[in-house]
A = this chain, B = another copy of it.
Amino acid sequence: MEQDIQFEPTVGREDLLIAGKDDAFREMVHNLLAFSARLEQIRSRFGAFVGLSGVQYTLLISIRQLQSERGVGVRALADHLAFSPPFVTSETTKLVKLGLVTKTPNPDDQRRVHMRVSDKGTALLSQLAPVQQEVNDLLFEPVNAANYALVRQLAASLRASAEKAVLLSDYLVGTERSDQ
């Protein structure tokens, strides 16, 4: 009987196939997809709590995360979140107008800008902290002392491999698509 194979497998590596089928893999991807949709919903709620859109909230915490001593640039932030630079400019400008973020020119390169979360922005985020605690405690309930290190390591390496996968998919779509 050959009819077992319903679809072409969407993954090739033997490690990720079970009895030659990708059902388990697909279910995993589908769960990750749903998880990621929920993360976005939650970010919208967090934003709403402090009067921001979900994206603005995401930008704010990403600036906080990426800002070094000096600050983070528009391009770096856009790349991180997979937004276009103009979009980052326009949304962060709103955050500046709200007084939550500062933009200062990079003294070494006047083209660049350094964005940082202002004191007011930090205050706003700390006002949100109790809500985040409650929600995050529940959201990451499956993560515990026993698997925390592993999950963190996994998150970091998946992020890295995903960056490579984007480049590969860009290449594949760019080339193979052209001869259609």
Instruction: Give chain A's interface residues, CB within 8 Å of chain B.
Output: 7-13, 15-16, 24-42, 45-46, 48-49, 58, 61-62, 65, 80-82, 122, 125-126, 129-145, 147-148, 150-152, 154-166, 168-170, 172-173, 176-177
Q: Taking the nearest CB of chain B, how far is it from the CB of A19, in angstroms?
A: 13
Q: How many copies of this kind of chain does the complex include?
A: 2
Chain B residue numbers with a CB within 8 Å of A164 are 138-139, 141
Q: How far is the CA of A151 from the CA of B142 in the complex (A)?
A: 12
Main secondary structure on A side of the interface with B:
helix
Q: Which of B82, B134, B150, B177 contacts A37 (CB 8 A)?
A: B82
Q: How far is the CA of A25 from the CA of B148 in the complex (A)?
A: 9
Chain B residue numbers with a CB within 8 Å of A27 are 65, 152, 156
State whether A142 touches B154 (Cβ < 8 A).
Answer: yes
Chain B residue numbers with a CB within 8 Å of A24 are 152
Q: Residue on B with the closest CB to A24?
A: B152
Q: How far is the CA of A162 from the CA of B61 in the complex (A)?
A: 19
